[in-house]
Chains A and B, each alone.
Chain A
Amino acid sequence: MKRWALPTLVLAALIGLWQIAASSGALASVLNLEDFLVPSPAEIASALWESRSLLAENAWVTLREILLGFLCGLAAGLGFAVLLRLSGTLRRAFYPLMVASQAIPILVIAPVLLVWFGFGIGPKLVVVALICFFPITVNATDGLRSVDPEATKMMRTLDASRWQVLWRVEAPTALPFVFSGARIAATFAPIAAIFGEWVGADSGLGVLIRQDSALLETARMFAAASVLTAIALALFGLIALAERRIVTWR
């Protein structure tokens, strides 16, 4: 608990400063803006409370996109990593391309996905899954390859089949790598979902943020952003917790 004390204090101090700067009008005058465009934390909190059902409704839409997209990316990433492990030819063919493909700005091609997959949940899932796919696949592939060849030889002389080596030795070795890939994916997934919604959607936190930006409802924009932050933190925490429960030998 002690290691949380200092960051919590800093966060509280920042929010306090923001509160003073915003409510006194100092922040607005520095930014050369009308007062109502610069909400204080207290105003954001009250917007959060007043619009709770609207926020919850849209948060649920976004949460579903994040979770389903993440799970699709995870499943595809793990499956692909296993394939690359089982076939040296596949790995030599695909691994360099995969690493290079991380340079593709997935978010920017989201509009194309909209054209292909329509306005439903489809394009958002694809964007989130693609964003999650790369860190998970690259980490899982590296993890599976990090197995000590002596352990593989030992297993082979103990009559292990290729699948048994994979399941009993390589998969557990790769687990910590998979978790660190999943943590990276979890931090990007919410951003990907919001971007997917911006390109075309009728509900979700991204849609809400856009509408509020047009309506100059800045307090509710910040409220929506804080809900999204909470979702991202919860997902990250859940993965960290799972890792601590599963990877008990480290």
Chain B
Amino acid sequence: MRQDTKVATRTEDFAGAGALPSKGDSPAAAVSIRGLEHSYGELQAIERLDLEVQAHGVLGLVGPSGCGKSTLLELIAGLQQPSVGAVEVGGADNPAERLARCAFMPQRDMLLPWLNAIDNAALALRNRGVRRGAARAEAGQLFKRFGLAGFERARPAELSGGMRQRVAFLRTLVSGKPVLVLDEPFASLDAITRAEMQGWLAGALAADPRTVVLVTHDVEEALYLSDRVAVLSARPGRVVEELSPPAPRASDRDSAVTARSFVAVRERALAALHEGSQ
């Protein structure tokens, strides 16, 4: 396993980067969930859920295991249809259009082991019929920007956990979709790499804003990365509390998460989480 190269962790590192062109970069790109209920047969996974995400907003979802977080992500991304209620992405509620507007980053990186890093990152372009050379060139720009230069031709097995996660995020970003749906993106990483990656993601989103729905187990991660956090209850999932973290997300991570106001919100989030798990 190779060592991580230096990771850009602050906004300044992305200065002059210039956002990627993304489809539908308008307020209509927001996600809107109204009166959502979802069940698998007898099992009710989600009940009476209302959530809104502004364009370029980051919504964090925390909740106990099995509270329907992953189901919620699949509903937003158009991979499933809700039993009751409406899910709209950019004003469209049919699944094909939601699918066209969302890019999904699964919990495990799901890099294809037979493709090198750059071909993995360029998958969305290749799927759209962009030629291999052009797709590599486009994805290659991001490699330099995100501290992955020199690893374009490496197979996933040759990359460290943090680098794999970055390639997986690039793959999501390169799709150019306005909405990113992230399912516990850093859950598989060790604590130090995770903290580093959180700072990195905050910087990446500051340079190239997208609407993000982020599921995580980690309350601190949710509060640090999101501008709004919804605490969900145990199954059937509903919103117990919505919180707004105090600090702007792109500020330095270590000082952000130790600030008194941050700690206070975290206490509230943990209390809500505890209450919802009963």
In the bound complex, CA of A148 to CA of B104 (Å)? 15
Establish whether residues A157 and B103, one from each chain, have CB atoms under 8 Å apart when the complex forms: yes
Establish whether residues A249 and B175, one from each chain, have CB atoms under 8 Å apart when the complex forms: no
B105: chain A residues within 8 A (beta carbon): 154
Given A164-B127, A249-B113, A150 and B103 touching (CB < 8 A)? Answer: no
Q: Is B269 an interface residue (CB 8 A)?
A: no
Minimum C-beta distance from B15 to chain A (A):
29
User: Among the interface residues B105, B114, B157, which one has the most CB atoms of the partner chain A within 10 A?
Assistant: B114
Given A148-B110, A249-B157, A156 and B99 touching (CB < 8 A)? Answer: yes
In the bound complex, CA of A110 to CA of B127 (Å)? 47
* Interface residue from B100, B155, B181 paired with A159 (Cβ < 8 Å): B100
A155: chain B residues within 8 A (beta carbon): 123, 127
Given A249-B113, A249-B114, A157 and B104 touching (CB < 8 A)? Answer: yes
Q: Which residue of A lies closest to B123 (CB)?
A: A158
User: Among the interface residues A150, A151, A153, which one has the most CB atoms of the partner chain B within 10 A?
Assistant: A153
Q: Mark B77-114, 1 if CB is under 8 A from A, else 0.
A: 11100000000000000000001101111111010111
Establish whether residues B103 and A158, one from each chain, have CB atoms under 8 Å apart when the complex forms: yes
A157: chain B residues within 8 A (beta carbon): 77-79, 99, 102-104, 175, 177, 181
Q: Is A160 an interface residue (CB 8 A)?
A: yes
In the bound complex, CA of A168 to CA of B107 (Å)? 20
Given A159-B124, A159-B128, A161-B127, A154 and B175 touching (CB < 8 A)? Answer: no
In the bound complex, CA of A151 to CA of B120 (Å)? 12
Q: Is A122 an interface residue (CB 8 A)?
A: no
Q: Which residue of A lies closest to B79 (CB)?
A: A153
* Interface residue from B77, B112, B181 paired with A168 (Cβ < 8 Å): B112
Establish whether residues A158 and B127, one from each chain, have CB atoms under 8 Å apart when the complex forms: yes
Minimum C-beta distance from B98 to chain A (A):
9
A160: chain B residues within 8 A (beta carbon): 123, 127
Q: Is B164 an interface residue (CB 8 A)?
A: no
In the bound complex, CA of A250 to CA of B113 (Å)? 8
Q: Which residue of A lies closest to B157 (CB)?
A: A249
Q: Is B74 an interface residue (CB 8 A)?
A: yes
Chain A stretch 152-178: residues in CB contact (< 8 A) with chain B: 153-161, 164, 168-169, 172
Establish whether residues B175 and A158, one from each chain, have CB atoms under 8 Å apart when the complex forms: yes
In the bound complex, CA of A155 to CA of B106 (Å)? 10
Establish whether residues B106 and A150, one from each chain, have CB atoms under 8 Å apart when the complex forms: yes
Establish whether residues A151 and B128, one from each chain, have CB atoms under 8 Å apart when the complex forms: no
In the bound complex, CA of A153 to CA of B175 (Å)? 14
Query: Taking chain A's interface residues, is the majority helix, strand, or loop, or is none over half, making it mixed?
Result: helix
B108: chain A residues within 8 A (beta carbon): 148, 150
Q: Which residue of B lies closest to A151 (CB)?
A: B110
Minimum C-beta distance from B120 to chain A (A):
10
Q: Is B266 an interface residue (CB 8 A)?
A: no
Q: Is B249 an interface residue (CB 8 A)?
A: no
Q: Which residue of A lies closest to B108 (CB)?
A: A150
In the bound complex, CA of A248 to CA of B115 (Å)? 10
B99: chain A residues within 8 A (beta carbon): 156-157
Given A249-B113, A249-B114, A249-B155, A154 and B104 touching (CB < 8 A)? Answer: yes
In the bound complex, CA of A210 to CA of B95 (Å)? 66
B107: chain A residues within 8 A (beta carbon): 150
Q: Which residue of B lies closest to A247 (CB)?
A: B114
Establish whether residues B103 and A153, one from each chain, have CB atoms under 8 Å apart when the complex forms: no
Minimum C-beta distance from A173 to chain B (A):
9
B106: chain A residues within 8 A (beta carbon): 150-151, 153-154
Establish whether residues A169 and B112, one from each chain, have CB atoms under 8 Å apart when the complex forms: yes
Minimum C-beta distance from B44 to chain A (A):
22
Q: Is B235 an interface residue (CB 8 A)?
A: no
In the bound complex, CA of A155 to CA of B181 (Å)? 13
User: Among the interface residues B105, B124, B175, which one has the most CB atoms of the partner chain A within 10 A?
Assistant: B124
Chain B stretch 184-220: residues in CB contact (< 8 A) with chain A: none
Q: Which residue of B lies closest to A160 (CB)?
A: B127
Chain B stretch 157-195: residues in CB contact (< 8 A) with chain A: 157, 171, 175, 177, 181
In the bound complex, CA of A159 to CA of B155 (Å)? 23
Q: Which residue of A lies closest to B104 (CB)?
A: A157
In the bound complex, CA of A172 to CA of B104 (Å)? 21
Chain A stretch 124-157: residues in CB contact (< 8 A) with chain B: 148, 150-151, 153-157
Beyond known contacts A150-B110, A157-B78, A157-B177: 6 more, CB 8 A cutoff: A150-B106, A154-B110, A156-B99, A157-B99, A157-B102, A159-B100
> What are 30 A-B contacts defined by CB distance under 8 Å?
A148-B108, A150-B108, A151-B106, A151-B112, A153-B74, A153-B77, A154-B105, A154-B106, A154-B110, A155-B123, A156-B79, A157-B77, A157-B102, A157-B103, A157-B104, A157-B181, A158-B123, A158-B171, A158-B175, A159-B124, A159-B175, A160-B123, A160-B127, A164-B127, A169-B112, A172-B112, A249-B113, A249-B114, A249-B155, A250-B113
Q: Which 3 A-B pairs have the closest CB atoms?
A: A157-B104, A158-B124, A249-B113
